[in-house]
Every structure is written in C-alpha cells, then in structure tokens.
C-alpha cells in the first residue's frame, strides 16, 4: 500500500451527495442528484456528453459550487442548503473547502501538470508547501510514488519531455502524494493516444486493488466492467440508474442506458 | 580627444545616476504593478478594483513629464517637498507601474485555468498557488514586454533632467552650456545611452529565444487530443 486508508469505524458513506442541484444561468445541469460512495468503493460514472458528469465530480472538491442540496465528504460538510433563496450560489466556507481538497484528489483530462517543475517536483509541491514536509523526505516519497507508477527513470524530466501517458501517471502520483481518502478521475484517458491509454488504466486498476476510493468518469467500458463496484448512469443531470457492472451492462432497465451503451460500443 | 576625456568624469557620474534612477523606478514599478495586477484579477472586489482602475487610467492618460512636474513642483504646495531624485523615482515608478500592471494582468490570465484547478485540488491555498505555480509561468510570459519597458524606462529617465536630477542628459547639458560644443557632447551622451541599452536589448532577446526554444521542444511530444 502506498497510501493510507483510514480504516476508521466511520460507518456513514465517505462521500455523500444529496439532492444536489445546479444550473448555469438558465441551463439546469444537475437535477436533484444524489450519490453515496463508501470507503474503498470504485464508482464509474457514465452518460452522454453534457449529462453533467464533469460538473458533478467537480462539485465534490469545491471546484464548482451548487445551488442547493448537501455534500459531505469524510465528515466535512462542503455544502448544505435548502432550495435556494433566489439564485445565490451556495459557497462553502474556506476551512471546509481546504479540508475537502486535502481529502479528495483530482485527476484531469488535460493532466494539468505544472510545466515549470520536474515530475518529482510536481509530486513534492503540495507535501512541501502545504504539509511542510522536509524537501528530502518529500522527494523520497515522490520517488516511491513515481516508481510505483513505473516512472522511476522519469523523475527529473519536465512535463514537456514526457508522453501523455507518462504525464497522466505523474498527475496521479501528484494527487496520491497528499494521501487523499478518495480520488476523482475525469475522463483521464480521453486526451491520450490509443496506445497510451492502457498504461494509465493499469495504474488506476492497481490503485483500485489497493483499496482507494475512486469516482471515475470514463468511456472505457472494459475498465468499468472490470474495476467498478458500481456503475452510475447519468442523463440530463439526473441519475438514471445505478448497479453492478453486470446489471448495467447485461440488463439495463432504462432505455436511455441501453441506448447510451449501444452508442459507446458501436460508435458510427 | 582631450576635450572628450575631460567630459568623462561628469558624464560617467551622470550615467551612474541614470542607472540608479532606472533600477529604483523599475523595482517600484514591478512591485506596485504586481499588486495592481493582482487586485484587478478580481473585479468583484470593488473597493480595491475601482481605485486601482482609476489609478491606472489617470496615469496612462497623462504625460509622464507632467507627472514628474507634479511630483517635484506641485507637491510642495501640499506641503510635500521631495528631493529631485526621490521625486523622479516616484513619478517614473508610478508611471511604469500602471503599464507593467497591464502586462502582468494579461500574463497571469494567460496561464491556463487548469493550473489554478490542479493546484487548488492538491490543497494549495490561493497565495501559494499564485506564488509557486502561477507567477513563475506568468513571469515567463511577461518577460519580453517587461524587458522592453525596462529599456524604455532607461531612456525615459532622461526626462528627470527637467526636474534637475543630474542624470546623464542633464550632466551633458551642463557641460554643453559651459563649452558650447553641443554636437560633441550630445553625441557622446548618445553613445553612453546606447552602450547600456543596446547590450540590454541583445541580452533580452537571447533570453527570450532560450525560453522559446524550451517551448518549441515541447510541441512534437504533445499528445493530440
Ligand atoms: N462553465 C460553464 N458555463 C456554462 N455551461 C456549462 C459550463 N460547464 C458546463 N456547462 C454545461 O453544463 C452541461 C453539463 O456539462 P458537463 O461538462 O458536466 O457534462 P459531461 O457529462 O461531463 O459531458 P462530457 O461527456 O462531454 O464531458 C453541458 O450542457 C455544458 O454545456
Ligand atoms: Mg466531462
């Protein structure tokens, strides 16, 4: 195990989103959306483009605010409101926001590595500056994490000297370095050349096997089938259905799910 | 030849003052410019945003020489009597801070938003994100324009001669008034300015090329989205 999962007796779900609603102007994006995620669970979010997957997972570490609903993560309430008093977005307070961001890691489609720092420095940045861990210890840990991601020999390379797959694995290491209790993945293989997708999925599979709590937005159905504990289908900002991969892939109950799966498996 | 040699001591002293004036004003301009840029990133913070905007518009909308006169000749009426050199640094620094703040603001905005998000998502608070992640990248973007302003400031500092700062140009004027050899003296003064500004702009261009090179190297390896 390269990260520590707090095996606390905490029985309530690690991540709780209840009746989350959000619009951009007049455009409703999340509609009364609820999802609980337990410790160690891997949830794969699927759904057509524009269904609100990105928006939803971004609300979970405060990159987006919500209009109403409740979000609580690892005991920290990030947002909690009644249906809104006329349009004022619900802003989380600074402390909970900070706590949640330390608890929840995020990996982005476009990697978003810091281009002026080497791979190892990218990974060390937050431990050194946020957690105030001595450089030497932080570097040692960063090298361990990079090694686990198969990047031992790339530690001192700058992002522009790495392939997309390598950059994405550095990004995963960077988020692991803060020992998050959960990691959010937003289509992290979509910007990659096809031959580089496998290495990133392999790293994520390993993470799941180690017991990391993960919410994964992806169009990689093979990955969902093999790794997900639960697959959640979204459409138009609503939860359409949720279930084990077998249930969802073999016998979807909602026609929208069937249609979506059809489109992913047989794109024209 | 001997005549030129006799001018050198006072011209060199003048050049020293010009360089000091430039460096102090630039430091002032950089610091205040950065503060203004930061303030103007957030228009919703109206109590800071509006005064900062007014400051910038007033400074950019009036002549530098007027600002110098204001600092040196007008402020005494308000009971503020400044040494010419201090008044010069203040006026030049304030003037350049307004221009530099716009350079910094657009450079900060040119750093992709994903950098803010990635840094926030690993728990870095705003100040750290700015200092460790955004400014190092924005600095690279701002470098060419900032360097050009630096050289422009070096030349603009000659305006301080009008408020009796004995910088390079004013030292030349004093010599010229005594010897009437305007052509010779102003030619030497021009050579002095060039001797600093030309190597500076060469150095600046070399630096830009180096940064561009490292960016170009990045391209072939970038993954098609
Ligand atoms: N910043 C924004 N301002 C306005 N509208 C937005 C913004 N971000 C997203 N939207 C809209 O919100 C809706 C949901 O977008 P979101 O990115 O969450 O969908 P998604 O399920 O992640 O889609 P995809 O599979 O294409 O990534 C879309 O209609 C999108 O156009
Ligand atoms: Mg998306």
Question: How remote is the CA of residue A91 from the centroid of ligand 1, in Å?
Answer: 20
Q: Is the CB of A24 under 6 A from ligand 1?
A: yes
Per-domain boundaries in chain A: 15-265
Q: Is the CB of A49 under 6 A from ligand 1?
A: yes
Rounded CA-CA distance A67/A59 in Å is 11
Amino acid A256: pLDDT? 94
Q: Which domains does chain B have, with CATH numbers?
A: 2-218 (1.10.3720.10)
**Per residue in A26-65, pLDDT tens?**
999 999 999 999 999 999 999 999 999 999 999 999 999 9
- Dihedral over Cα of A33, A36, A40, A44: its sign: negative
What fold is seen in the domain A15-265?
Rossmann fold (3.40.50)
Length of chain A: 268
Amino acid B218: pLDDT? 47
Structure tokens, A19 = 């009746």
**Does B132 lie at the interface with A, CB-CB under 8 angstroms?**
yes
Q: How distant is the alpha carbon of residue B102 from its chain centre? A: 12
**Does B116 lie at the interface with A, CB-CB under 8 angstroms?**
no
SS3 B39: helix
C-alpha triplet A76, A82, A84: angle, nearest 5°: 115
Question: Rg of chain A's alpha carbons, rounded to an integer?
Answer: 18
Amino acid B214: pLDDT? 63
Q: In what order do the strands lie in the sheet with A213-217?
A: A104-107, A182-186, A213-217, A42-46, A230-235, A238-243
Rounded CA-CA distance B33/A151 in Å is 41
Structure tokens, A178 = 């803060």
Weakly modelled stretches of chain A, pLDDT under 50: 1-9, 84
Extract the runs of DSSP E, i.e. beta strands, from B75-144.
Answer: none
DSSP element (H, E) containing B132: none
Residue B141 neighbours by CB under 8 Å, 6+ apart: B107, B110, B111
User: Ligand 1: which of A23, A27, A216, A267 to mutate, judged by most atoms within 8 Å of the beta carbon?
Assistant: A27
Instruction: Write the DSSP string, chain A.
Output: --S-----S--S-SEEEEEEEEEETTEEEEEEEEEEE-TT-EEEEE--TTSSHHHHHHHTTTSS-BSEEEEEETTEEEEEESSPSTT--BPPPHHHHHHHHHHEEEE-TT----TTS-HHHHHHHHHHHTS---HHHHHHHHHHHHHHTT-GGGTT--GGGS-HHHHHHHHHHHHHTT--SEEEEESTTTTS-HHHHHHHHHHHHHHHHTT-EEEEE-S-HHHHHHH-SEEEEEETTEEEEEE-HHHHHH--SSHHHHHHHHHHHS--
Amino acid B1: pLDDT? 64
Q: Do the beta carbons of residue A174 and residue A125 sit within 8 Å?
A: yes
Amino acid B83: pLDDT? 95
Distances (CA, A) of B91 to B48, B69, B156, B161: 22, 9, 11, 13
Weakly modelled stretches of chain B, pLDDT under 50: 216, 218-225
Structure tokens, A185 = 């993945």
Amino acid B224: pLDDT? 42
Q: How distant is the alpha carbon of residue A150 from its chain centre? A: 21
Chain A residues with CB inside 8 Å of B124's CB? Answer: 125-126, 129-130
Residues of chain A that touch chain B, judged by Cβ-Cβ distance less than 8 Å: 61-63, 98, 101-102, 104-106, 108, 110, 112-116, 125-126, 129-130, 160-164, 171, 174-175, 177-178, 190-193, 196
Question: How remote is the CA of residue A50 from the centroid of ligand 1, in Å?
Answer: 5
- Kindly give the interhelix angle for B46-60 and B84-110, rounded to the nearest 10 degrees: 120
Q: What is the ipTM of this complex?
A: 0.89
């Amino acid at each position: 195990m390269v990260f520590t999962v707090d095996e606390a007796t905490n029985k309530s779900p690690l991540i709780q989103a209840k009746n989350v609603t959000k619009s951009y102007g007049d455009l409703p994006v999340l509609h009364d959306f609820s999802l609980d995620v337990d410790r160690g669970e891997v949830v794969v979010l699927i759904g057509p483009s524009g269904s609100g997957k990105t928006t939803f997972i971004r609300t979970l570490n405060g990159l987006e605010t919500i209009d109403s609903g409740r979000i609580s993560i690892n005991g920290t309430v990030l947002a909690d409101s009644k249906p809104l008093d006329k349009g004022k977005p619900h802003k989380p307070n600074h402390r909970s926001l900070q706590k949640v961001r330390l608890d929840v890691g995020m990996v982005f489609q476009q990697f978003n590595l810091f281009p002026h720092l080497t791979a190892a420095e990218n990974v060390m940045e937050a431990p050194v500056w946020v957690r105030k861990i001595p450089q030497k210890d932080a570097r040692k840990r960063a090298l361990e994490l990079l090694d686990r991601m198969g990047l031992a020999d790339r530690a001192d390379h700058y992002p522009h000297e790495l392939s997309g797959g390598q950059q994405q694995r550095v990004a995963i290491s960077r988020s692991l370095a803060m020992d998050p209790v959960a990691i959010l993945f937003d289509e992290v293989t979509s910007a990659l050349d096809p031959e580089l997708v496998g290495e990133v999925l392999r790293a994520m599979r390993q993470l799941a096997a180690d017991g990391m709590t993960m919410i994964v937005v992806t169009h990689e159905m093979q990955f969902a089938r093999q790794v997900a504990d639960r697959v959640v289908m979204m459409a138009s900002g609503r939860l359409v259905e949720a279930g084990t991969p077998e249930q969802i892939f073999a016998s979807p109950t909602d026609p929208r799910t069937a249609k979506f799966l059809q489109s992913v498996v047989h794109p024209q | 030849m001997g005549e030129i040699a006799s001018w050198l001591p006072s011209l060199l002293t003048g050049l020293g003052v010009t360089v000091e004036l430039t460096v102090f004003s630039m430091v002032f301009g950089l610091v205040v410019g950065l503060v203004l840029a930061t303030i103007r990133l957030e228009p919703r913070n109206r109590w800071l945003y509006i005064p900062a905007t007014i400051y910038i518009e007033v400074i950019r909308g009036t002549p530098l020489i007027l600002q110098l006169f204001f600092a040196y000749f007008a402020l005494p009426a308000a009971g503020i009597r400044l040494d010419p050199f201090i008044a010069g640094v203040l006026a030049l620094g304030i003037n350049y801070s307004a221009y530099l703040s716009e350079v910094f603001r657009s450079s900060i905005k040119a750093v992709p938003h994903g950098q803010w998000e990635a840094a926030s998502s690993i728990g870095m608070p705003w100040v750290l994100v700015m200092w460790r992640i955004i400014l190092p990248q924005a600095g690279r973007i701002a470098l060419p324009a900032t360097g050009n302003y630096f050289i422009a400031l070096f030349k603009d500092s000659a305006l301080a001669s009008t408020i009796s700062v004995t910088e390079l140009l004013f030292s030349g004027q004093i010599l010229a008034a005594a010897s009437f050899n305007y052509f010779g003296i102003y030619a030497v003064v021009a050579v002095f300015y060039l001797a600093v500004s030309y190597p500076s702009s060469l150095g600046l261009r070399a630096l830009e090329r180096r940064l561009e090179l490292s960016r170009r190297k990045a391209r072939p390896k970038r993954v098609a989205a």
